[in-house]
Structure formats: C-alpha cells, structure tokens
C-alpha cells in the first residue's frame, strides 16, 4: 500500500485529495460493503461520493454493461444510439419538465457547464446568480459559480456571478428567523440584488447543498425565488447531481420540495444514475435546449455502455422503490443519529433528508467549526469499519453520510453504532 501511495504522489497532482493518513485502496464491493487491498471489510456510508446509488456490484447493472460491451462500446452522438434514446425517454418523462429534451454528459461538472451554456445563450447574458456555500463542479466555469471558498481556486471567471443568500438555514444573518421570515428575508435579498443589475441569465441552485455539508433552505424558498425570477425572465437551473433519483426520500427530485411554481427550466443530473459509470446530463424544455445555433456533439456523453448501465440502474431503483427505502431507513437513521449525538458537545447539528445526512462538528461550547474533529471522526470510523465523507462551507467540519439507497435497517443500525462509539470518544 505504501508503494502505491508513493507512486500516486509521484504522478498525480498534489491537489487531488486522498482520505485518511494511510490512504485506502478499494479493490471490490458487494451490496453496501467494500473491501480494501489488505482484506479489511467496510460498511460504505459514502458510496463513492453519492455515486454508488443502488449497490456495489449490482448484478443487473454489471450484466447490462457486459452485454452492451460485448456488442459495441462506443459510437459517439454522430450515430443513432438506442440505449441513449431509451434512457433519455425515461428521464424526460420523470423530470417533470414539459416537452423535455435530454443531453448526456460524462459528469456533473460537464452537465452544469452545459446548463450555463444553454442559459447564457438563451438569455444572451453572461450574468449568473448562484447560492452562497454552493458547489457545482471543478471546471473553469463551474468553480466560477461555486460559493464555497474551499472548492474555488481562482477568481477568474467566464461569467459574472452574483451570490444570493438562502442555501444554508442555520448559519448566516437570517439563521435566527422563523422559516417564513427566513424565506421572506432571502426573497428581499434577491429583489434588492436584482435592483442593482440587469439581464441576468439564470439562478443555479442545489436543492440540498452537497459539498456544502448537506445544508438546505426551508421548503418553498426556491418557489418564492421563482416568482421573482419569472418577473425578470430569469431561468432557474436545479443542480440535482446529488439530490436526484429519490435520495431525499420525500421526493424524486430535490426541486419538488419547492414545486409550487412548477419544475425548473433546466435540470442537471449525474452521479447516482450511472451507479459508478461516467454518466451525467441536462434536461430542459425544447425551447431552451434547442437555442444553440452552432454545431455541438458529445464524443463520450451517453455512450452505449453508460446508457445501458443507466437504464438497468434506473429500472432497479424504480422497481425496488429505493426512494421509499431512503425515506424509511433514512428517517430511522437520522433520528438514531440525533439521539446518540444529543449529549456530545462537539455536535452542533444533525440534518438532512432520506439517505443524505450531515453531522456538523464544532469546538465544544462554541459555534466555531472544527475540521480537526471531523478529520478525527473520519479516521476513527474507518478503523471501526465504516466509510463516511466530509464537507461543509466552514472549514470542512461536516460529516457526510450517504449510503447506497438499498441500505437495510440492520446496516443503518450498525453504522450508527460505529459513529456513536467514534463521536463519544472525541
């Protein structure tokens, strides 16, 4: 393992982070468990950053990939592609967007890039509204709309970005307000901001901020925003890269918690749909999607193999009601975590929905973020046989918990017990 780590450091950029003081090489997985090169078995509560959505080594997906690879692996979008069309039909129907068109990419970053391209071309404007504490990818344009300093390495930008308040409910100037007052204050902030600019193309927002630490506004905030946006002709882009496909339990898409004024104009997705295959995309109504008046293709987006994997994965998700499982098991898990952390001074908040849960850690007796505690818990959880993630807009002090959506009650209890021992040892 040390040899592989040294080889990694010799050829991979320094800014490609690795978890753990002694990094782990994952060699194989099954269900909700993975094994490392030394034979250690772990309960996986992070799923490759919310990407292993259904299960590791899901037979239906591996079979679909193998069968398609045996026929043809690649052709590009210059040719008709049956798996891609079939997957697009299913996603268009599920999106809630009328007269929807779907464009496939290889990642969430590329999906958000495409959404920015569509919005700026449609509106003929280079101004974008984004949320504070947000994250939308690692490309030049995606980091320029990312409101999280830890993940935005440059101030240079291809668009002009203006940041709106509201994505984080329990921190910031409006944290002490009631939900209704919070929404009212955030809408007033948006109105004021628009009074100082013009010709904004779009607002891009994660319904639940992923890298930001699984923070979210009260239900209905983006519906209230939408009333303002519609008056100005501004598009709404819902970044569903982490919240899509029923992970929040209550809804299939995160935007549906803000659905009073209908679906977003543009929806982006990735991660879970491919269950580990490089698959993302954009959904928009035809008027917006077809506004591009130049040639454009995708060499790898929606390839026959990734589309076949997406179809098999989506079918399994729907047939086994994994959204319902995320609601039931996730609800039990979050309540269990709240109970075990009630007497832990370092825990500021347990929050989330479905199987998308964050535990925010602070220095006891303060509201000051504690990245040291988060790092310590991450290490100790691994030693106890549990893999979790971390994030947050305040110095990476939030533990991120997002297991495959087929998680069982017994596995949820096992993971909670490991976290209880770990957190109480802080």
Task: Check whether residue 251 and residue 328 sit in a common domain.
Answer: no
Identify the CA nearest to 391 among candidates 250, 245, 208.
208
CA separation for the pair 106, 248 (Å, rounded): 23
- What's the pLDDT score for residue 350? 97
Task: Check whether residue 153 and residue 15 sit in a common domain.
Answer: no
- What's the pLDDT score for residue 150? 82
- What's the pLDDT score for residue 381? 98
Cβ-Cβ contacts under 8 Å for 299 (sequence gap 6 or more): 76, 77
Task: Check whether residue 186 and residue 247 sit in a common domain.
Answer: yes
Task: Check whether residue 132 and residue 256 sit in a common domain.
Answer: yes
Report residue 414 as tokens.
């096992």
CA separation for the pair 274, 281 (Å, rounded): 11
CATH number at residue 370: 3.90.1150.10
161: enclosing H helix or E strand: strand 160-164
Distances (CA, A) of 61 to 65, 273, 316: 6, 11, 9
Sign for the pseudo-dihedral over CA of 339, 343, 347, 348: positive
Distances (CA, A) of 278 to 51, 105, 125: 10, 8, 30
Among residues 299, 319, 339, which one ends one of the domains? 319
Task: Check whether residue 308 and residue 351 sit in a common domain.
Answer: no
In this structure, the number of other CB atoms found within 10 A of the CB of residue 36 comes to: 17
273-298 as b/e, with b when 16 or more CB fall inside 10 Å? bbbbbbbbbbbbbeebbebeeeeeeb
**Judging by DSSP bridges, how do beta strands 280-285 and 100-105 pair with one another?**
antiparallel
- What's the pLDDT score for residue 1? 63
Task: Check whether residue 85 and residue 234 sit in a common domain.
Answer: yes
Give the range of the structural domain holding residue 116, as residue numbers without chain letter.
62-319
CATH number at residue 156: 3.40.640.10
Question: Which SS3 state, helix, strand or coil, does residue 412 take?
Answer: helix
Q: Are 346 and 362 in contact (CB under 8 A)?
A: yes
Among residues 319, 337, 360, which one ends one of the domains? 319
- What's the pLDDT score for residue 204? 98
Task: Check whether residue 261 and residue 380 sit in a common domain.
Answer: no
Residue with tokens 């007269």: 99
Residues shown for the chain: 426
Task: Check whether residue 174 and residue 253 sit in a common domain.
Answer: yes
Question: Which SS3 state, helix, strand or coil, does residue 88 take?
Answer: helix
Mean pLDDT by 10 residues, the chain (426 residues): 91 95 97 98 97 98 98 96 98 98 98 98 97 93 88 85 94 95 98 94 97 96 97 98 97 95 96 97 98 94 98 98 98 98 95 98 94 96 98 89 98 98 90
DSSP letter string, 186-241: HHHHHHHHHTT---EEEEEE-SSBTTTTSB-PPTTHHHHHHHHHHHHT-EEEEE-T
Task: Check whether residue 284 and residue 166 sit in a common domain.
Answer: yes
Task: Check whether residue 140 and residue 235 sit in a common domain.
Answer: yes
3-state secondary structure 262-331: CCCCEEEECHHHHECECCEEEEEEHHHHCCCCCCCCCCCCCCHHHHHHHHHHHHHHHHCCHHHHHHHHHH
Task: Check whether residue 326 and residue 223 sit in a common domain.
Answer: no
Among residues 301, 319, 337, which one ends one of the domains? 319
Report residue 305 as tokens.
């193999």
Half-sphere exposure of 127 (CA within 13 A, CB side): 12
Sign for the pseudo-dihedral over CA of 239, 245, 248, 252: positive
The number of distinct structural domains making up the chain is 2
- What's the pLDDT score for residue 28? 98
Task: Check whether residue 34 and residue 139 sit in a common domain.
Answer: no
């Amino acid at each position: 393992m040390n040899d592989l780590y040294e080889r990694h450091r010799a050829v991979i950029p320094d800014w490609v982070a690795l978890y753990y003081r002694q990094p782990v090489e994952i060699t194989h997985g099954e269900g909700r468990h993975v094994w490392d090169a030394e034979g250690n078995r772990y309960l996986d509560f992070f799923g490759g950053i919310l990407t292993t959505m259904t299960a590791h080594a899901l037979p239906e997906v591996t079979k679909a990939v193998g069968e398609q690879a045996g026929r043809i692996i690649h052709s590009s979008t210059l040719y008709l592609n049956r798996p891609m069309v079939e997957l697009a039909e299913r996603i268009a129907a599920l999106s809630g967007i009328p007269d929807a068109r779907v464009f496939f990419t290889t990642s969430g970053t590329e999906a958000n890039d495409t959404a920015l391209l569509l919005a700026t071309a449609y509106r003929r404007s280079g101004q974008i509204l984004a949320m504070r504490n947000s994250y939308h990818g690692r490309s030049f344009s995606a980091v320029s709309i990312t409101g999280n300093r830890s993940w935005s390495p440059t101030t240079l930008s291809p668009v002009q970005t203006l940041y709106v308040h509201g994505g984080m409910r329990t921190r910031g100037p409006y944290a002490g307000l009631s939900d209704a007052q919070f929404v009212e204050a955030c809408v007033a902030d948006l109105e004021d901001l628009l009074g100082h600019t013009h010709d904004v193309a779009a607002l891009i927002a994660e319904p639940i901020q992923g890298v930001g630490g699984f923070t979210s506004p009260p239900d209905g905030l983006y519906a209230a925003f939408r009333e303002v946006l519609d008056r100005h002709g501004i598009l709404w882009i819902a970044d569903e890269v982490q919240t899509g496909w029923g992970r929040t339990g209550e809804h299939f898409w995160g935007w549906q918690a803000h659905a009073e004024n209908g679906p977003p104009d543009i929806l982006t997705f990735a991660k879970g749909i491919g269950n580990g295959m490089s698959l993302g995309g954009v959904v928009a109504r035809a008027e917006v999607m077809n506004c591009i008046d130049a040639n454009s293709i995708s060499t790898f987006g929606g390839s026959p193999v990734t589309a076949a994997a997406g179809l098999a994965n989506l079918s399994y998700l729907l047939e086994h009601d994994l959204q319902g499982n995320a609601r039931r098991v996730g609800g039990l898990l979050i309540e269990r975590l709240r109970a075990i952390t009630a007497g832990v001074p370092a825990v500021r908040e347990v929050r989330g929905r479905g199987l998308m849960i964050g535990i925010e850690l602070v220095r006891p007796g303060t509201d000051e973020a504690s990245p040291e505690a988060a790092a310590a818990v991450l290490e100790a959880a691994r030693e106890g046989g549990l893999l979790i993630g971390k994030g947050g807009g305040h110095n990476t002090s939030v533990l991120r918990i997002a297991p495959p959506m087929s998680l069982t009650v017994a596995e949820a209890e096992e993971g909670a017990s490991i976290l209880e021992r770990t957190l109480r040892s802080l």
